[in-house]
Amino acid sequence: MGVATTLATRRPARLGLVAAIGLGVVLGGAAAADAAIGHVRTQSSPLTVRSGPGTSYAAVGAVARGARITIVCHTKGSRVKGPYGSTDVWDKLGDGRWVADAYTSSSDPSPECSPSALDTVAVAYRGSRPCSTDERPYTNGRVPRSALCTLRDARSESLRPKAAAAFDGLSAAYRQHSGHALCVTDSYRSYDEQVAVKATRGRWAATPGRSEHGLGLAVDLCGGVDRFGTDAHLWMVVNAPRYGWTHPGWADAGGSLPEPWHWEYTG
């Protein structure tokens, strides 16, 4: 099979990798001489080539069955089942695009992609196109539907256009890291919804008309981000600011109202 069997010895500690990305440390890309030559194995149809290491990334081409490919490096992405087994390894091709390792074989293992290579993918997602250009200010809780965008990975949730686009990028990057989109429990809240939330949550909810949720610039997250000290929360602390999302001081562990789940878009 592909390079999956070599991962145990080649994979760096995850937190170390994330920290390196967050600090902008560039360890250098894989030299061309390190690239591996591989072959594509599918039943009959061509293998989809994607813009990033996962099935959530856009399909940007295809390579034919049996085609010879140059694998520059590999990294973890979404899990795929293919002729070479079930694996979350993705191979980066010489042209910067990606294929699932479950469909490729190579005589030599490729190197692990450097943080800078992964960073390129994250940056590509930062510029997701907003669904609307209406960024005019509106009264808290009175933002019209036309000035809100549905979140790509949470279709019942919405935010102001730029905040939504940035969040979509952040969620795509998180999926690349964890295999899952960011879990969202709350986003934009109309004034009436803020009144209802205040009634049930008391001091854990802002005064109606004052919440950042009413501006469409805040989310409440789940899936581990909602607990301080988890890998998911730490990942957000390191990476969210690169997408304009931050965790406000008042919501920190030592803040006036500790809410690990609450994140705000500050641009």
For the chain, what is the radius of gyration of the CA atoms? Answer: 21
How many Å apart are CA 30 and CA 108, to the nearest integer? 14
CA 247 vs CA 120, 152, 177, 253: distances in Å: 24, 21, 20, 11
Nearer to Zn ion, 76 or 262 (CB): 262
**What are the backbone dihedrals phi and psi of residue 207, each rounded to the nearest 5 degrees, phi first?**
-60, 130
Question: CB of 86: closest distance to Zn ion in angstroms?
Answer: 37
Query: Which of the stretches 37-45, 112-120, 147-155, 258-266 binds Zn ion when contact is defined by CB under 5 A?
Result: 258-266
Answer yes or no whether residue 198 interacts with Zn ion by CB under 5 A.
Answer: no
Answer yes or no whether residue 220 interacts with Zn ion by CB under 5 A.
Answer: yes
Closest CA to 219 of 261, 173, 169: 261
Query: Which of the stretches 107-115, 165-173, 223-231, 257-265 binds Zn ion when contact is defined by CB under 5 A?
Result: 257-265
Answer yes or no whether residue 264 interacts with Zn ion by CB under 5 A.
Answer: no
By CB under 5 A, how many residues form the interface with Zn ion?
2
Answer yes or no whether residue 157 interacts with Zn ion by CB under 5 A.
Answer: no
Answer yes or no whether residue 41 interacts with Zn ion by CB under 5 A.
Answer: no
Amino acid making up residue 247: H
Tell me the residue nearest to Zn ion as measured from the CB.
Answer: 262
Answer yes or no whether residue 242 interacts with Zn ion by CB under 5 A.
Answer: no
3-state helix, strand, coil in the chain (%, to 5): 35, 25, 40
Site residues (vs Zn ion, CB under 5 A): 220, 262
